[in-house]
Chains A and B, each alone.
Chain A
Amino acid sequence: MTDAVIEPKVKTTPKIVEPTIFDLSSPGRVGVTMPASDVPETALPPEHLLRSDLPLPELAEVDVVRHYMHLSKFNYSVDSGYYPLGSCTMKYNPKINEDTCRLPGFLHTHPLQPIETVQGNLALMYQLQEWLKEIAGFAAVTLQPAAGAHGEFTGVLMMRAYHKSRGDIKRTKMLIPDAAHGTNPASVGMMGMTVVQIPSDERGNVDLKALEAACDDTVVGMMLTNPNTLGLFDEHIEKVIELVHGCGGLMYGDGANLNALLGIVRPGDLGFDLMHFNLHKTFSVPHGGGGPGVGPVGVAAHLAPFLPEPLVGIVEEGNDETPPLYGFIKPVASIGRMKAFHGHFGGGFVRSFTYIAMHGPDGLKDISQYAVLNANYLQARLRDTYRVPFDRICMHEFVAEGRFSGSDVRALDISKRLMDYNFHPPTNYFPLIVHEALMIEPTETENKDTLDAFADALIKIAEEAKTQPDLLYNAPSTTQFGRMDEVKAARELVLCCWLPEGYDLNQ
């Protein structure tokens, strides 16, 4: 054994742009004062049940406000600029929704109140169920799922329950195209089913031969996003559904891309048996920096008995003088409960209800027509600069390749450089079937000037990639923060303002 001298690791202290809320804490400061107790005092429980210290920060109200205001300025948002993030439908969120969802009658109602005292809430939920049924062509809708992935899980549970109810127990395979969102296979994985991946053909459609070969009596169904994640409407959608139905499978629609279809086509009419909606994409619930979402599921009549409980229904019919009494009903063969209480009512249903009410049938169709026009316009402006591997009329989004022959510039560099032009980048590296994917979804709420400015920036960046690639490699340079060391984050795993006791940074 040698006595090697171990150099102490030199650690440079990072520069702190905004201290954490714990850094800002100072003993004795108070942000809000609660009133004194107005009841005779009861002794506290025995000491051994109590905690000795509550290590929360101590700040004055103004310190808290300034801290979060500082943080807010580090965010790019739809309210501050163009956000063409593919697959996410980053449309403008109308401000009135923020006011309607905060009406006191909605804010301060308890989910277990007697139904007679919450008829406004129940009427709104009932109406929203009816509207979603009409928009997508389904027989019934549950509003309960909390997000798109939660809706998928709900759907897969129902598909399983449907087959089981028919004594058809050998079905264990779910067909999923290679272009699918990761949540689709993950939802299936949670059910212990196997995923059979179906390739796409050269026009970006489901490969019919591969699909036909996979269809047998062990198929639970198929999960399909249509338009798919390439932004393309499947040109053989009816044949795809016929093949799946032909082998006894059910057709699940991932409604992530429903923004292309409002008033254009109803998935239920095409033969989809069930589909989840993303109210936070299509129906203007803001994305909130990562949620909450809302993922209602619509189903055809043969799946309605399996919906999660409870649904909102009319429990006593009304007449000319009295409105109907709304209440909760339990589907006969329900898969059970997906979450506590009734779903994302306030921050979800109320906003989407307001949005649909303010658009009406013609306004909804306008949404999809303009979303599709904007995407095609951008695609047309960019296709000579960025290769579009599946180049045909797209729906609400399209996918280009962020690479150039003879250059090491990658999609990531292009995205980071877009930040210097004050744009949010498109989605990167998804779908997986396109090299260096740049997935661009303009949405209907942007005007031609914005689209042109964005296209001009991307064309300029392509030029920079040839002449001054360092501008891209070093981007972003005009933002408050530069590129992050993601390896360090994963290796050192500092997930909290302090390290757990005995934690070894070098482990």
Chain B
Amino acid sequence: MLETVGVKSLDDLFEAVPAKHRFPKLNLPPALTEMEAMDELSGLAQANENVRADLVSFLGAGMYNHYIPSVVDHILRRGEFYTAYTPYQPEISQGTLQATFEYQSLMSALTGMDVSNASHYDGATAAAEAVNLAYAQFRGKRRKVVISPTVHPQYRAVIRTYAQGMDVQLAGDDANANLDSDPNDLANLIDDNTSLLIVQYPDFFGRVYDYTKLIEAAHAKGALVCVVANPTALAMFKTPGSMGADIVVGDGQPLGIPMWYGGPSVGFFTTRKQYVHKMAGRLVGETVDNRGQRSYVLTLTAREQHIKRERATSNICTNQGLIALGSAVYLSLLGKRGLRQVAELCYQKAHYAAQQLSKIKGMGLCFTEPFFHEFALCVGRPVEEVNAHLLEHGIIGGYDLSQDYPALNDHMLVAVTEMNSKEDIDILVEVLSEVSHD
């Protein structure tokens, strides 16, 4: 091969590289064989305590421990899916394309919206892309975005990061706001300069509100509304689409994706058909091939960075294709009845837990509104202390809300899914009762 190329040695191929920096000696450990690598990785994995075998978990806050049917991973392990590239050559990529088209359809059905893109990185970046859409929709003329303080704190943080480059003012994003106020009060922050209102459904504290009136009020000022939604909750509760939302985003992790210490998950992004040209990300559309067969292609690519370059609304290129496929398989398997069943199990178990926990002396629910599978619990002392005690009993307690909301000192956010048995809940109640008697 070297002879064909016309060089004497492999090293001769690198003469364009400055000689004094060429061929550095990398200070890395020597190569492991497959057997040794498996041993090392197993050791690292076992150094963790996981929430299936080692610990019982009541932690949610944006990532949830749900059952994943076996079929999901069997499909994801198909090399035909996971070792393919983005489907730029549709004749030999119809598997990915049709699966993505079906994912778009499933997400539209779940959210009650017209169209979905092929995915974003996660729920937080999808919410940030909603800000981009609204900014583009008003051609940068509306410079204010109103964010409910009950949107996930990390999502708000990501939106703040993304907004650094835009001439956008964020309002409502205040950890010291009154968290018990009527969400309709957010309407007071919306004015003629507001491009977008962002609320969460259920909100960060698990509360379910009908946002119909708030959305009407935002529309009356000409602003768009983005609802950040939990997809499991959408199996049970009315859709943001039916409340009039313009954009519905969220994280698809609850739909058959392992928590994987935080990722990769998938950000879903759905909207109304009139905003499709302003939506970032890839889109799959239906067409026919030259043999008259129904088929699918990436469409409206002129919106995207590889064509529009610096004038593109977003720079997104790679998205979460394989994870979106996993969610589509999950939704196909659970279907109409299974997903509703999962949602109801979460609802029932969370409510049982809330009832039992609020009976403990010195503890109580923070809010009274209807909730889904998460609730804020006042534990009467620093959550850090309580959680350390729970951990000694093999339990991961709820998320410490004082990290993000100074007013919620001594409050934890408890999440309960179908994975938590009555026994798990009863043990949690028992150990917490001990804490309250200490």
Contacts and interface: CB of A to CB of B under 8 A. Distances in A.
Given A14-B288, A264-B22, A292 B318 contact: yes
B315 A289 contact: no
B426 to A, nearest CB: 10
Contacts of A79: 79-80, 83
Interface in A153-173: 153, 156-157, 160
A289 B86 contact: yes
A424 interface: yes
Q: On chain B, which size bracket covers the interface?
A: 35 or more
Contact of B305 (A98, A104, A149): A149
Interface stretch (B164-172, B184-192, B216-224): B164-172
Contacts of A356: 28
B375 interface: no
Interface string B3-37: 01111001001111110011111111111111001
Contacts of A46: 370
Nearest to B277: A493
Interface stretch (A2-10, A314-322, A458-466, A494-502): A494-502
B150 interface: no
A147 B317 contact: yes
B359 interface: no
Nearest to B400: A112
B9 to A, nearest CB: 10
Given A361-B30, A481-B94, A338 B161 contact: yes
* A65, A190, A264: most-surrounded residue (chain B CB, <10 A): A190
Contact of B259 (A73, A107, A185): A107
A40 B352 contact: yes
B357 interface: no
Nearest to A118: B48
A100 B22 contact: no
Interface in A1-42: 12, 14-18, 20-22, 25, 29-35, 37-42
A393 B5 CA distance: 9
A265 B87 contact: no
Main SS of chain A's interface residues? loop
Given A34-B345, A188-B310, A338-B161, A54 B235 contact: yes
B81 interface: yes
Interface stretch (A82-90, A243-251, A296-304): A82-90
Contacts of B109: 54-56
A403 interface: no
Contacts of A288: 81-82, 84, 320-323, 325
Contact of A111 (B63, B164, B276, B284): B63
Nearest to A17: B293
Interface string A76-111: 111110010100101001001011111111111111
Interface stretch (B117-125, B141-149, B360-368): B117-125
Contact of B49 (A12, A117, A416): A117
Contacts of B93: 74-76, 289
A493 B291 CA distance: 20
A355 B391 CA distance: 34
A61 B370 contact: no
A49 B208 CA distance: 8
Contacts of A416: 91
A209 interface: no
Given A117-B49, A120-B45, A495-B115, A83 B85 contact: yes
B285 A354 contact: no
Contact of B41 (A103, A344, A496): A103
Interface string B90-123: 1111111011111011101110101110110111
Given A54-B340, A65-B74, A482-B290, A148 B317 contact: yes
Given A41-B348, A287-B86, A361-B26, A182 B306 contact: yes
A67 B87 CA distance: 19
A432 B309 CA distance: 12
Given A77-B83, A107-B260, A192-B165, A337 B158 contact: yes
Contact of A157 (B164, B263, B387): B164
A233 B105 CA distance: 44
Contacts of A484: 90-91, 287-290, 295, 297
A186 B309 contact: yes
A335 B315 contact: no
A118 to B, nearest CB: 5
B336 A341 contact: no
Nearest to B341: A34
B179 interface: no
Nearest to B62: A340
A54 B335 CA distance: 9
B321 A489 contact: no
A286 B289 contact: no
B18 A270 contact: yes
Contacts of A33: 338
B78 interface: yes
Contacts of B296: 489
Nearest to A392: B16
A183 B317 contact: yes
B396 A113 contact: yes
B111 to A, nearest CB: 11
A291 B27 contact: no
A193 to B, nearest CB: 8
A266 B50 CA distance: 37
A419 interface: yes
A67 B83 CA distance: 19
Contacts of A100: 37-38, 41-42, 45
Contacts of A365: 23, 26
Given A137-B24, A348-B263, A358 B16 contact: no
A494 B160 contact: no
Given A30-B335, A65-B71, A111-B259, 12 more contacts: A32-B333, A49-B210, A72-B95, A73-B95, A106-B45, A119-B47, A186-B314, A291-B320, A348-B263, A377-B1, A495-B101, A496-B104
26 contacts: A30-B338, A34-B341, A35-B345, A39-B348, A39-B349, A44-B347, A57-B336, A72-B75, A80-B80, A105-B44, A111-B263, A112-B399, A289-B87, A289-B93, A289-B321, A290-B100, A338-B125, A342-B261, A345-B263, A357-B41, A393-B7, A427-B88, A481-B94, A481-B293, A496-B101, A496-B108
Q: Closest 4 A-B residue pairs measured CB to CB?
A: A346-B260, A341-B262, A105-B45, A288-B322
